[in-house]
Amino acid sequence: MDTAIRKTQLFNASCVALVVTALAFATRGSFVEAWAGEFNLTHAQVGWIVGTAFWGFTLAMVFGGPLVDIIGLGRIIAIAFFCHVIGIVLTIMATGFWTLFISTLFIGIANGSVEAACNPLITSLYTDEKTRRLNRFHAWFPTGIVIGGLVVYLFNNIGLNDWRWAMAVMLLPTFVYGFMFLNKKFPETERVTAGFSYKDMLKSCYSPLFLFMAFCMILTASTELGTNQWIAALLANVSDNPILLLVWISGIMALARQFGGTFVHNTRPTIILLFSSILAFIGALLMGYAQGAVLVFASAGIFALGIAFFWPTMLGFVSENIPESGALGLAIMGGIGFLGGAIAQPVLGAIFDAQTAASIPAGQVLDILKAAAPGTQEALTYAQAQLAGGANTLKFVSIVPALLIIFFTILYFRKIKKA
């Protein structure tokens, strides 16, 4: 084992691991319609499958966070690696609802283990610039989504339309990050080096400020992860390649996180969170009303700027303002965030189904339109109903950042104090 702690190598390996979690997110977002068609599933059922990744993530964060200080960061990373490999292989071999459900659970556990280990790893490596480094680290999540979206787009255009090919590509960066972490020495977590006890850590996670931020994390994560997971399906009929809309949103997020470090470092996190909520609200609402690809992409750009700083700034705020919460605090925040994403998946799927059905012209039968051959009038009618249903679903989404505007205004004026 390398006896020296090599910050840059550990940071870079963490970024590659996060790219794999993003690839899983991006590719699954583009598989919604493919799975529904191939395995004869409803959007609500696909929502439960996709949401399982979020439940697995939450499970890994809840159990992995407290274990980080006990078994070490390296062992949590090893769990992530093996679960990624198992989950990817099982997904490729899937035959229906339950096999997709189980394989997605493994991938969720892997993704959660990456977050459970890498967030405290980075705050321990860079104690003087936590929020800035967390933003740079989490820039690789939307970057990975861009990569995954472009892979799906490329495969579709060269005739490899089977979603299993896109899943297989994920094995390459998985083995890369496994090799990069191999035999590396990991630092002790910041809680250990600062001398905070487990009792201090547990107590801090029950403080009013922490509980308030945890509640807000559910809403910020459901706004970002819930919407992005469904965006390609909700607006599938806006363009011939709706996955490019997810690529567009993720690309803007990646650039904002990667190059917004100075802005983040010099601006109060409460101001960032408040203005992010305002932009997310405006963007989601505009996407719900926009007509045509140009206006939809412009609205999506506003939405992307709104959600770009949510996740890393929430983690950075907790780490800087409640440092005694340690790895457990970061794990709870991440786990609760993905819990919000998990809850959002079947909810969005059900709303999409209901809004699509409500948009079917009187006298038409949904199942007949859904089964219509491409190019027929019935297929066109169904596509128009889906477009209207997706737009109406996004209007519902805008309610969540509207609530966040209220909550972060309260946080800005510090009406909720740390215990």
Euclidean distance between CA atoms 348 and 127, whole angstroms: 38
Altogether, the residues listed in the chain come to a count of 419
Instruction: Bin 70: left if φ > 0, else alpha if -120 < ψ < 50, else beta.
Output: alpha
Question: What is the residue type of 327?
Answer: A
CB 140 within 8 A of CB 19: yes
Binned at pLDDT 50, 70 and 90, residue 20 comes out as very high
CB 346 within 8 A of CB 32: no
The number of C-alpha atoms within 13 Å of 24 and in the hemisphere containing its C-beta is: 37
Token pair of 258, please?
A: 């990667």
Model pLDDT, residue 355: 86
Q: Decide if pLDDT at 290 tops 70.
A: yes
Binned at pLDDT 50, 70 and 90, residue 363 comes out as confident
Model pLDDT, residue 204: 84
Does CATH place domain 7-412 in 3.40.50.2300? no
Euclidean distance between CA atoms 270 and 118, whole angstroms: 24
SS3 358: helix
- Label residues 324-348 b or e (16+ Cβ within 10 Å = b): bbbbbbbbbbbbbbbbbbbbbbbbb
Euclidean distance between CA atoms 300 and 248, whole angstroms: 8
Q: What is the mean pLDDT of the chain?
A: 83
The number of C-alpha atoms within 13 Å of 192 and in the hemisphere containing its C-beta is: 15
Name which residue leads in pLDDT, 332 or 153.
Answer: 332
Model pLDDT, residue 276: 95
Binned at pLDDT 50, 70 and 90, residue 14 comes out as very high
Euclidean distance between CA atoms 353 and 389, whole angstroms: 7
CB 346 within 8 A of CB 51: yes
Euclidean distance between CA atoms 293 and 250, whole angstroms: 17
Euclidean distance between CA atoms 374 and 236, whole angstroms: 15
Span 79-85, mean pLDDT? 95
Name which residue leads in pLDDT, 213 or 246.
Answer: 213
Name which residue leads in pLDDT, 375 or 280.
Answer: 280
Model pLDDT, residue 192: 65
Phi–psi pair at 11, nearest 5 degrees: -65, -45
Burial label for 139, CB within 10 Å (0-12, 13-18, 19+), is buried
Number of neighbours of residue 163 by Cβ within 10 angstroms: 22
CB 277 within 8 A of CB 408: yes
Euclidean distance between CA atoms 283 and 398, whole angstroms: 8
Burial label for 89, CB within 10 Å (0-12, 13-18, 19+), is middle
Name which residue leads in pLDDT, 214 or 386.
Answer: 214
Name which residue leads in pLDDT, 185 or 236.
Answer: 185
Token pair of 197, please?
A: 């006890």
Binned at pLDDT 50, 70 and 90, residue 196 comes out as low
Q: What is the pLDDT of residues 367-383, one digit of tens each?
A: 777 777 777 887 788 77
Q: What percentage of the chain has pLDDT greater than the value 70?
A: 91
Euclidean distance between CA atoms 41 and 107, whole angstroms: 21
Number of neighbours of residue 189 by Cβ within 10 angstroms: 23
Model pLDDT, residue 151: 80
Identify the top-confidence range among 93-97, 123-127, 242-246: 93-97
Query: Lowest-pLDDT range, 24-33, 128-137, 277-286, 397-406?
Result: 24-33
Phi–psi pair at 67, nearest 5 degrees: -80, -15
Query: Lowest-pLDDT range, 199-213, 227-241, 293-307, 373-387?
Result: 227-241
Q: Which is nearest to 146 in space by CA: 52, 286, 23?
A: 23
Binned at pLDDT 50, 70 and 90, residue 418 comes out as very low
- Label residues 353-385 b or e (16+ Cβ within 10 Å = b): bebbeebbeeeeeeeebbebeeeeebeebbebb
Binned at pLDDT 50, 70 and 90, residue 190 comes out as low
Instruction: Tell me which residue has tokens 């079917």.
Output: 360
Name which residue leads in pLDDT, 363 or 402.
Answer: 402
Span 328-337, mean pLDDT? 84
Q: Decide if pLDDT at 23 tops 90.
A: no
Euclidean distance between CA atoms 349 and 121, whole angstroms: 35
Q: What is the pLDDT of residues 117-167, one digit of tens each?
A: 898 899 888 877 877 888 889 889 888 888 877 887 788 778 777 788 888
Q: Decide if pLDDT at 286 tops 70.
A: yes
Model pLDDT, residue 358: 84
Residue 71: C-alpha distances to residues 76, 199, 291, 385 (Å): 8, 18, 53, 52
Q: Where are the domains of the chain?
A: 7-412
Model pLDDT, residue 419: 43
Model pLDDT, residue 306: 94
